[in-house]
């Protein structure tokens, strides 16, 4: 019987918190907010935090302003601290934040002021580069798995790809203008240099590189409203996307039967074809879904073949939901290699952030059953799934 | 606003029907919780000024009491407003003014949906989508010029 336990509440931001990001070691959490600042949080040093003993500490049923179901560890205030606050980050809301995924030394923030700043910690966090180019609000920033490329996107309908020049600065190598509306989020594949963008124009675009030239390899349509974001499965085979139409869709790349010797001409670029293999109906979430994150099945749970882990979704209906993804039972019956999936709601937490929207959910990359969420109430919360 | 050519030069102006709610005994009882109803929400928006004319949304029949739907229990408010003409380019601005007014006056628990009354505007899906996208609204409200315009419209809604 899976359940979610609230383990820590990180308060400090003065406005809604838009996004959180774990560092590659899973021991630091960065958050960014409408109060124009970014904060870095960490467990109080000396304590190994992500152990089951810690999550099983006796809970005091604290009555927190009407949220009687919030069992908060009485000592949570003393288990996490705010290590750094980056106050002079930007002139407007900081909308997106991401730790560099190989060494976690650099941090990128994207703001409604159109710029993306790169920070490195030398004592305090210092801004080592400012990437300009977006005509208006920048909405998302993401590092490629190698840490060499950075993608940003914004309301000017463009996706920009930047490359590290080795001296801490970045050069713009591509500006992709295929979306017809505001681009809400960009996401890299966990292993390959493949980029996905999610847009207000209801579509998802997959971008690939061909000899240093980036192009749109696929357009995934199916959502009936703004696609707010998405997440890859940890093995990179599936992509989940969430939308204002209250559904979650899971996509996978169709096997390409073409041979490498096919010479379709000088300008031929291998397109990818994606198909939607699962849809969580709009009856599950009652308002727009803003964020999704995918974690592998934990070793303790039945990690049988066909168990693809858990999705966490954060929604405008104030509820945090955990869904289990597994291979469809029907696949075995027909005997065919069907990639259909079953998604089942296993746990939900209403009013996870009080009576406020949840803006971002992120599983810890190293400790797979720990989750960080943030919302319009200005608070970042850490949960444990058990 | 410095526009020389108004979108709608001669809007229809309607009389304001004033209604007062009778005083009840429960009004003086602190133990009784008064739910927020459509009357109260309408009261908040009816005197918002139109961006182009010195007239309120009520006088132009842009805001209608019958098109304000409030459910206090589920913390939901839906407002449908009617632009005066189908190609009104002020529709998004009016919707934004309504949103800001409610953001500042209603308790935080409310989820507010603002829509153009069906069939009254040629770009109603686009306007609705913008008005209900909280990220777009948040970014718009950081634009000081736009915020000034909104505040001017809200100056009469006291």
Min mean pLDDT across A218-222, A247-251, B22-26 is at B22-26
Neighbours of A83 (CB within 10 A): 15
Give the neighbor-by-neighbor strand order of the sheet with A195-199. A183-188, A195-199, A204-210, A213-220
Question: Is residue B102 domain-resident?
Answer: yes
- Nearest chain A alpha carbon to B143: A92
Mean pLDDT of A75-86: 77
Q: Which of B111, B133, B138 lies nearest to residue A287, judging by beta carbons? A: B111
β-pairing, A159-164 vs A380-385, is: unpaired
Mean pLDDT of A285-300: 87
In this predicted structure, the answer to whether residue A42 has a pLDDT above a threshold of 60 is yes
Which ipTM was obtained for this model? 0.88
CB contact (8 A) between residue B108 and residue A355: yes
- Nearest chain B alpha carbon to A138: B139
Using an 8 Å CB-CB cutoff, list chain B residues near A356.
108
CB contact (8 A) between residue A225 and residue B129: yes
In this predicted structure, the answer to whether residue A373 has a pLDDT above a threshold of 50 is yes
**What percent of chain B lies above the pLDDT cut of 90?**
69
What pLDDT is stored for residue A73 in this prediction? 44
Give the contacts of A382 (CB within 8 A, at least 6 positions apart): A6, A7, A8, A9, A10, A29, A80, A370, A371, A372
Question: Is residue B128 domain-resident?
Answer: yes
Q: Is B33 on the interface with A (CB under 8 A)?
A: no
- Taking alpha carbons only, the member of A187, A179, A40 closest to residue A105 is A40
> Counting one residue from A and one from B, how many pairs have CB atoms under 8 Å apart?
32
Q: List, as ranges, residues 78-137 from B with C-beta within 8 Å of A.
A: 108-109, 111, 129, 133-136
What pLDDT is stored for residue A46 in this prediction? 61
In this predicted structure, the answer to whether residue B111 has a pLDDT above a threshold of 90 is yes
Chain A: which residues have CB within 8 Å of chain B? 16, 34, 92-93, 95, 112, 136-137, 139, 155, 182, 184, 200, 225-226, 244, 287, 316-317, 355-357
Q: Assign residue B114 the CATH number of its domain.
A: 3.30.300.130
pLDDT in tens, A306-329: 789 999 999 999 999 999 999 886
> Are the C-beta atoms of A306 and A315 separated by less than 8 Å?
no
Closest CA–CA distance from residue A198 to any residue of chain B (Å): 14
Tokens of A240: 């989940």
Q: Which of B108, B133, B142 lies nearest to residue A226, judging by beta carbons? A: B133
Mean pLDDT of B132-158: 93
CB contact (8 A) between residue B129 and residue A226: yes
- Nearest chain B alpha carbon to A92: B142
Separation CA A376–CA A192 (nearest Å): 33
Using an 8 Å CB-CB cutoff, list chain B residues near A19.
none
Estimate the crossing angle of helix B91-105 against helix B38-45, to 10 degrees.
120
CB contact (8 A) between residue B135 and residue A355: no
Question: Is residue B29 domain-resident?
Answer: no
A63 phi, psi to nearest 5 deg: -85, 110
CB contact (8 A) between residue B139 and residue A182: no
Tokens of A324: 């289990």
Domain span at residue B59? 35-154
What pLDDT is stored for residue A60 in this prediction? 35
pLDDT in tens, A188-245: 999 999 999 999 999 999 999 988 899 999 999 999 999 999 999 999 999 999 999 9
Tokens of A103: 């060494």
In this predicted structure, the answer to whether residue A58 has a pLDDT above a threshold of 60 is no
CB contact (8 A) between residue B133 and residue A139: no
Question: Is residue B99 domain-resident?
Answer: yes
pLDDT in tens, A107-149: 999 999 999 999 999 889 999 999 999 999 999 999 999 999 9
pLDDT band at A282 (very low <50, low <70, confident <90, very high): very high
Give the neighbor-by-neighbor strand order of the sheet with A80-86. A17-22, A29-33, A38-43, A80-86
Tokens of A301: 């749970």
Which of A112, A289, A350 to mutate against chain B (most B CBs within 10 Å)?
A: A112
Using an 8 Å CB-CB cutoff, list chain B residues near A357.
134
β-pairing, A204-210 vs A195-199, is: antiparallel
Using an 8 Å CB-CB cutoff, list chain A residues near B142.
92-93, 112
- Nearest chain B alpha carbon to A111: B139
Residue B96 CB burial class (10 angstroms; 0-12, 13-18, ≥19): buried
Total domains present in chain B: 1
Half-sphere exposure of A45 (CA within 13 A, CB side): 2
What pLDDT is stored for residue A238 in this prediction? 95
Tokens of A105: 């030394």
Using an 8 Å CB-CB cutoff, list chain A residues near B75.
355
Question: Is residue B98 domain-resident?
Answer: yes
Neighbours of A107 (CB within 10 A): 29
Alpha-carbon distances, residue A261 vs A209, A257, A258 (angstroms):
19, 12, 9
In this predicted structure, the answer to whether residue B1 has a pLDDT above a threshold of 90 is no
pLDDT in tens, A97-117: 999 999 999 999 999 999 999
């Amino acid at each position: 019987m899976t359940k979610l336990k609230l383990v820590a509440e990180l308060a400090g931001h003065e406005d809604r918190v838009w996004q959180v990001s774990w560092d590659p070691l899973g021991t630091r959490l960065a958050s960014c907010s409408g109060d124009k600042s970014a904060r870095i949080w960490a467990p109080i040093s000396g304590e190994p935090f992500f152990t089951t003993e810690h999550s099983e500490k006796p809970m005091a049923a604290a009555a927190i302003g009407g949220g009687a179901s919030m069992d908060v560890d009485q000592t949570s205030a003393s288990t996490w601290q705010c290590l750094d606050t980056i106050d002079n980050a930007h002139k407007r809301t900081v909308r997106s934040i991401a730790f560099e995924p190989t060494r976690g030394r650099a941090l990128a923030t994207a703001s409604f002021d159109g710029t993306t700043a790169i920070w490195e910690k030398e004592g305090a966090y210092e801004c080592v580069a400012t990437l300009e180019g977006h005509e208006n609000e920048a909405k998302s920033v993401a590092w490629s798995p190698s840490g060499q490329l950075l993608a940003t996107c914004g309301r000017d309908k463009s996706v920009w790809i930047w490359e590290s020049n080795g001296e801490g600065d970045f050069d713009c190598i591509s500006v992709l203008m295929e979306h017809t509306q505001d681009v809400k989020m960009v996401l890299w594949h966990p292993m390959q240099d493949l980029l996905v963008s999610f847009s207000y124009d209801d579509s998802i675009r997959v971008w690939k590189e061909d000899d240093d030239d980036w192009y749109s390899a696929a357009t995934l349509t199916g959502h009936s409203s703004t696609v707010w974001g998405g997440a890859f499965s940890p093995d990179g085979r599936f992509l989940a996307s969430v939308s204002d139409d209250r559904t979650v869709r899971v996509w996978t790349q169709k096997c390409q039967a073409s041979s490498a010797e096919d010479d379709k001409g000088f300008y031929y670029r291998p397109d990818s074809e994606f198909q939607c293999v699962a849809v969580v109906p709009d009856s599950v979430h009652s308002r727009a879904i803003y964020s999704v994150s995918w974690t592998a099945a934990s070793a303790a749970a039945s990690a049988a073949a066909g168990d693809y882990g858990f999705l966490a979704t954060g929604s405008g209906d104030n509820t945090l939901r955990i869904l289990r993804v597994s291979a469809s039972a029907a696949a075995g019956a027909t005997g065919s290699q069907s990639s259909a999936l079953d998604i089942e709601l296993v746990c939900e937490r209403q009013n996870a952030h009080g009576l406020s929207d949840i803006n971002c959910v992120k599983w810890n990359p190293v400790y797979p059953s720990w989750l960080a969420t943030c919302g319009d109430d200005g608070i970042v919360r850490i949960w444990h799934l058990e | 606003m410095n526009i020389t050519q108004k979108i709608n030069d001669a809007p229809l102006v309607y009389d304001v029907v004033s209604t007062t709610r009778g005083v009840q005994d429960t009004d003086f009882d602190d133990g009784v919780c008064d739910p927020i109803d459509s009357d109260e929400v309408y009261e908040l928006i009816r005197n918002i000024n139109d961006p182009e004319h010195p007239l309120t949304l009520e006088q132009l029949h842009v805001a209608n009491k019958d098109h304000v739907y409030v459910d206090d229990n589920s913390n939901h408010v839906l407002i449908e407003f009617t632009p005066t003409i189908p190609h009104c380019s002020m529709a998004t601005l009016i919707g934004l003014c309504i949103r800001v007014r409610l953001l500042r006056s209603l308790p935080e628990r409310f989820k507010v949906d603002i829509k153009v009354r069906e069939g009254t505007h040629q770009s109603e899906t686009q306007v609705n989508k913008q008005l209900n996208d909280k990220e777009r609204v948040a970014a718009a409200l950081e634009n000081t010029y736009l915020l000034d315009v909104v505040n001017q419209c809200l100056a009469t809604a006291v």
